[in-house]
Homo-oligomer: A and B are copies of this chain.
Amino acid sequence: MAGETAREAYHHGDLRDALIKATDAILAERGLEGFSLREAARRAHVSPAAPAHHFGSSAGLLTEVAILGFEELARHIEIEGSAESATARLKQQAAGYVRFALAYPGRFQLMFRYDLLLPDDARLAAASELAKVPIARTILALRGLPEDAELDAPTSATMLAAWSTVHGFAHLALSGKFSKLTPEAKSQHLLDELLPQMLDILWPEPKR
């Protein structure tokens, strides 16, 4: 009991967390295509069939990781400092979205791969919805509405516009469609140059 805790822990303890962390490590090291259920089990020092009892299937484990991904995405989107205008705040949030996608490409791609996730998981849907809240607040401010206003048609259309723009940018970047630069310098150039240029076109500063 006071023996080697690591050995003991794997035999009964927090396998669930260990598998989630192993999966996250695989996504970070080898990307989404480098993941396999058996590899995650290997890293947790358990048999290939062990994960099934905790997550049901591979999709169950990946869904759990995707939920954590949406929560982390929400954190990246939330605004830290003060923002002068609503459009400035929107641009900061857009940068946060893209920064997350570029920093954790495996996680990000997983989050939108419905074929790898449980299709009707309520917690996943909730996490996905929660990640939109910070943007919704900014959109309301952008349209001069109070923070707790209802999401009318033009507001949700504006949200859709912001979401699509930033998501398309991130997805195209990860698909290698902007790959004329080296991978190292690419992220900074995308975030510091291309993204602001694009956002200035779609959301020009109203201050004349």
Question: Which A residues have a C-beta under 8 Å from some C-beta of B?
Answer: 31-33, 112-115, 119, 128, 153-154, 157-158, 160-161, 163-169, 171-172, 175-177, 194, 197-198, 200-202
Please give the count of copies of this chain that the complex contains. Answer: 2
28 residue pairs of the A-B complex, CB under 8 angstroms, read: A31-B115, A112-B171, A112-B172, A112-B175, A113-B175, A119-B176, A153-B197, A154-B201, A157-B194, A157-B198, A157-B200, A158-B201, A160-B169, A160-B194, A161-B198, A164-B166, A164-B168, A164-B198, A165-B165, A165-B168, A165-B202, A166-B168, A167-B171, A167-B172, A168-B168, A168-B169, A168-B171, A171-B171
Instruction: Judge whether A163 and B157 touch: CB under 8 Å.
Output: no
Q: A115 and B164 in contact (CB under 8 A), knowing A197-B153, A201-B157?
A: no
Q: What B residues does A161 contact at CB under 8 A?
A: 165, 198, 201-202
Alpha-carbon gap, A148 to B166, bound state (A)? 29
How many whole Å from A60's CB to the nearest CB in chain B?
17
Q: Among B32, B169, B177, which residue has its beta carbon within 8 angstroms of that of A128?
A: B177
Q: What B residues does A32 contact at CB under 8 A?
A: 115
Alpha-carbon gap, A165 to B94, bound state (A)? 13
Known pairs A164-B166, A166-B168, A202-B202 / 8 extra A-B pairs, C-beta < 8 Å: A31-B115, A112-B172, A113-B175, A157-B201, A160-B197, A163-B168, A164-B168, A168-B169
Q: What B residues does A198 contact at CB under 8 A?
A: 157, 160-161, 164
Name the residue of chain B whose CB is nearest to the CB of A153.
Answer: B197
How many whole Å from A161's CB to the nearest CB in chain B?
5
Instruction: Judge whether B165 and A164 touch: CB under 8 Å.
Output: yes
The 10 closest A-B pairs by CB, nearest first: A168-B168, A164-B168, A167-B168, A157-B197, A164-B169, A33-B115, A112-B175, A161-B198, A161-B201, A114-B176
Q: What B residues does A115 contact at CB under 8 A?
A: 31-33
Q: A164 and B172 in contact (CB under 8 A), knowing A115-B33, A128-B177, A201-B158?
A: yes
Name the residue of chain B whose CB is nearest to the CB of A173.
Answer: B164
